[in-house]
Amino acid sequence: MKIILKILIKSLLYTSPIWILFIYLEVGLSKIENTYSYKMRNFENKGRDCVVLVLGNSEILKGVNPEYMHLPAYNMAHVSQNYVLDEQILKKLILQMPRLKYVLLGVSYISFGDDLQSGEEAWRLAFYRKHYRLDFDSPFDIKDVSNVFRYTPYESLKLFSQNFNSNLVNGLQPTGWMKTDDCESKDTTAEFSIAQASRHTQALKEENISKNIMALRNILSMLKKKGVRPILVRTPVMQNYYTHLNALWMNKNDSLLAVINSEFSLDILDFSKCNESTDPSLKNGFNDVNHLNLEGSRHLAKLICDEISGQ
């Protein structure tokens, strides 16, 4: 027993620099603001009293700017956020929003066929668990309890080398909207549009449809019970991106949306065919082929508000 104890003590002594560094990284990383902690903190400060809640993926995150809505709004969309996550977020927040009247739900090319949990960006789930306190039906993951593994050891050391002073919320506004101007590289070229459309199409899987449809139905049922009006929004995308999307998946998306619409009689605002050619106001409105910039988000807010007011 004494021999084992000595070996253990020596092992701890020899590896102590590693453990000290690990603990230092954990503490340092816990003090960094990221987009998830920033969004949730600002929701607590500004979102609770909002009349409009915005949910969806990056097209909505960068496209729907609450500053130009005619009603108090908060944008809880995020990169690669699908209906399964939207449902969890709504379930958590709806009880905290007594003035809520409208929920804007993004509908994009990838809404029904993509799945964050099984895709390349599954690492994001750990941030939802940590900062949104969401619960997923999945096995234990070390990323759920460790900042180092949540950011990855490589990124953790990179942030350490920067003295934990990196800006991880660059562009994110207190309203939850992501401003892309001056903080992201602008790429509207034909080459990028082909690559982006291909990447999105490759991520689509038939087996993901049922879980997204179920989540969307649950969202709509939840809103109906609360007397909250859902509004589905398709954001404008550039023509060179739209024309390279897979026709079979586009038809499938339209069919699925039609079935849901027949069940819930939805308000669907489809601006996906609005582009730099059909709408002069969008000539300088894109940051890249499927994301709007400040000017584009201002124009989209006007289009949404006009439609809501008209209805």
Query: How, if at all, do strands 229-234 and 267-270 pair?
Result: parallel
Closest CA to 111 of 59, 33, 71: 59
Band of residue 66 on the pLDDT scale cut at 50, 70, 90: very high
> For 226-243, how does the pLDDT look when each residue is reduced to its tens digit (9 = 90+)?
999 999 999 999 999 999
CA distance 52 to 180: 22
Q: Is the per-residue pLDDT at 197 higher than 80? A: yes
Instruction: Kindly give, in sequence order, each residue whose CB lies less than 8 Å from that of residue 109, ignoring residues fewer than 6 positions away.
Output: 200, 245, 249, 250, 253
> For 135-170, how does the pLDDT look when each residue is reduced to its tens digit (9 = 90+)?
877 777 899 889 999 999 999 999 999 999 989 998
Residues 205-224: what's their mean pLDDT? 96
Closest CA to 124 of 138, 111, 105: 138
32 CB burial (10 A radius; 0-12, 13-18, 19+): middle
In this predicted structure, what is the pLDDT of residue 186? 80
In this predicted structure, what is the pLDDT of residue 310? 65
User: Would you kindly state where each structural domain of the chain is located, as residue ranges?
Assistant: 32-116+123-310
Average pLDDT score, the chain: 91
At residue 74, the 3 state secondary structure works out as strand
Instruction: Kindly give, in sequence order, each residue whose CB lies less than 8 Å from that of residue 185, ignoring residues fewer than 6 positions away.
Output: none
Q: Is the per-residue pLDDT at 311 higher than 60? A: no
Instruction: Kindly give, in sequence order, each residue whose CB lies less than 8 Å from that of residue 140, ignoring residues fewer than 6 positions away.
Output: none
Q: Please identify, in words, the CATH class of the domain defined by 32-116+123-310.
A: alpha beta
pTM of the model: 0.92
Query: How, if at all, do strands 102-106 and 229-234 pair?
Result: parallel
In this predicted structure, what is the pLDDT of residue 126? 93
In this predicted structure, what is the pLDDT of residue 203? 94
Residues 50-66: what's their mean pLDDT? 96
Q: Provide the Cα torsion 132, 97, 52, 222; round to 10°.
A: 80
Residue 157 parent element (H or E): helix 153-161
Residues 284-311: what's their mean pLDDT? 88
Residues 243-269: what's their mean pLDDT? 95
In this predicted structure, what is the pLDDT of residue 211? 95
In this predicted structure, what is the pLDDT of residue 278? 87
CA distance 199 to 289: 13
In this predicted structure, what is the pLDDT of residue 120? 85
Q: Is the per-residue pLDDT at 42 higher than 90? A: yes
CA dist list (Å): 2 to 11, 16, 287:
14, 21, 66
Query: How, if at all, do strands 286-288 and 291-292 pair?
Result: antiparallel
CA distance 179 to 292: 9
Q: What's the one-letter identity of residue 277?
A: S
Instruction: Kindly give, in sequence order, each residue whose CB lies less than 8 Å from that of residue 68, ignoring residues fewer than 6 positions away.
Output: 297, 298, 301, 302, 305
Closest CA to 271 of 309, 302, 230: 302
CA distance 16 to 225: 56
Q: Are 244 and 193 in contact (CB under 8 A)?
A: yes
**Which of 11-25, 35-49, 175-189: highest mean pLDDT?**
35-49
- Return the exposure string of 126-148: e unless at least 16 CB atoms fall within 10 Å of the residue's CB, then b: bbbbbbbebebeeeebebeebbb
Band of residue 90 on the pLDDT scale cut at 50, 70, 90: very high
CA distance 81 to 60: 10
Structure tokens at 174: 């207190």
Structure tokens at 69: 């809505």
